[in-house]
Amino acid sequence: MIIGIAQINPYVGAIEKNKQLILDCIETARSNLHVETLIFPELALTGYPPEDLLYRPELYNQIRQAIDDLESNCQNINIIFGYPRRDEGKIYNSCGYIKDGRLDATYDKMVLPNYGVFDEVRYFSAGLQPCLIQLGDIKASLTVCEDIWDPMPAAQAKQHGAELIININASPFHANKLSEREAVLTARNKETGLPIIYTNLNGGQDELVFDGGSMIIDSDGSIKAVAPQFKDGIFTLTLEKQNDRISFTADWTDNRDSSDSSSVYQALVLATKDYVNKNGFNGVVIGLSGGIDSALVTCLAVDALGADNVEVIMMPSRYTAKMSIDDSVALARNLGIEHKIIPIEKPYSAFMELLEPLFKDTSTDTTEENIQARSRGVILMAISNKSRRLVLATGNKSEMAVGYATLYGDMAGGFSPLKDIPKLQVYALAKYINQQQMLIPQRIIDRPPSAELRDDQKDEDSLPPYDILDPILKMYIEEDKSPQQIIESGYSKDHVLPVINLVDQSEFKRRQAPPGVKISKRAFGKERRYPITSGYRES
């Protein structure tokens, strides 16, 4: 039996588009690949996560019509697909099996994740029973995503006579996620002895990116093959049963990528591409400063959208070094993108003249620095309004964590690709780009980072060195370690306590920041929900 895994990129809420995408895959699988059963990911009809769209009654009318159309077009092929199902006032995260042109079986997800970015308990009711279908002479158990992370559904499937587990997923990416999935799948196989077909979603959706990486686990627990990450496609395998043993022959090669920088960079590119395109923008505009953050954002934007859809604006001030302009121009030329130089001295001077009566008898401080950043924000947003190009913010996770950014200035933008990328990882990604092709001028990577908002300014004037700052932030934000635990791990109290205080004080800024893609195990946004107004402090 030839089985197809459809690794697709649906558009959340666009039921008609997603249905057509599924129909196109069916036609290709049936006519060109001779697939007998085609497996789609979790919630393929709605995309994931549909969030409060699940409360719209009309959604289910569209889903019902889409399923009717799928049934009508499933001649000589069967499909397994995910969709939300409403029944007697309850909503289920369901997996349907269309056989011989009709919805033959339905399984409701039993284990509902309610942690990190997941809040399925808010929307769905849990299923109660396993569901076995017949694939030729093989009994296969349908499961959905989190079901495979818990031993119970696989054990129940085994008890009910399953010989194979089919697991459909919308499993979002974070660094090293592929190896985590492999460990979970091999654990389920070890417990049950059952082979597993694992199908995953691909594509960006707001702050999440799904990386594909669909895979098959043989009866002996070996990973038979892994589909490419961050790519759509139909991947076929031959399923055979001999002497009660099921075996797979994959028609694709193993595509596991051992490079952390490669997978993270691909995730950023795909997330940016889908955010811009699915929201209907004509491209992007970026403030290119001569620093490493904006250089990295520009490179990934070109890879995501093409050079013709990326415009960079250099906005020097009286404090901008000549090397910053020279390096920015060199980068733009290396990438073949449109670039303009718009000095901000006139708007900055106008603001200072306007505010002079109010600032009389006060000393110069970060207020004047922020006016420069906000002048740049106004220019970028004006270009965005005229061109319908989305402004990409260029701040990184380290800056967002401690509030080293200007509201309505360098934080202005519609999407922030580096929002979950700490500064040290920014350097690693820039070096990765140059290993593929020398695009970023080496001086951008080598020079000390600076906001260039006053004379001789460097980030380390205000912050600890990033090789100290980033580990402290990771322990506090991602690992929930206390200040004392961080200090005991070898970091100075004089570094740890001020950094943690900055993190706690900066929540109001982060709440107003543009969305950005999740890369770490805990990103700012819906995954880390702290009150803005809070008197809580740790000793």
Instruction: For residue 175, give both structure tokens.
Output: 């660094």
Nearest to 376 by CA among 466, 252, 481, 287: 287
Out of 25, 42, 99, 369, pick the active-site residue. Answer: 42
Contact 143, 197 (CB under 8 A): no
Out of 99, 109, 397, 481, pick the active-site residue. Answer: 109
Q: In the annotation, is 207 catalytic?
A: no
Residue 82 — φ and ψ, nearest 5°? Answer: -100, 145
DSSP state for residue 161 in the 8-state scheme:
T
Nearest to 268 by CA among 291, 290, 289, 298: 298
CA distance 168 to 82: 7
Out of 95, 131, 145, 299, pick the active-site residue. Answer: 145
- For 32-87, the three-class secondary structure string (H helix, E strand, C coil) is CCCCCEEECCCCCCCCCCCHHHHHCHHHHHHHHHHHHHHHHCCCCCEEEEEEEEEE
Q: In the annotation, is 145 catalytic?
A: yes
Residue 229 — φ and ψ, nearest 5°? Answer: -80, 145
What sections of 122-176 are H helices per DSSP?
151-159
Compute how many other C-beta atoms are within 10 angstroms of the C-beta atom of residue 195: 26
Helices 151-159 and 177-192, packing angle to 10 deg: 30
Contact 83, 70 (CB under 8 A): no
Instruction: For residue 76, give both structure tokens.
Output: 């000589």
- Catalytic residue positions? 42, 109, 145
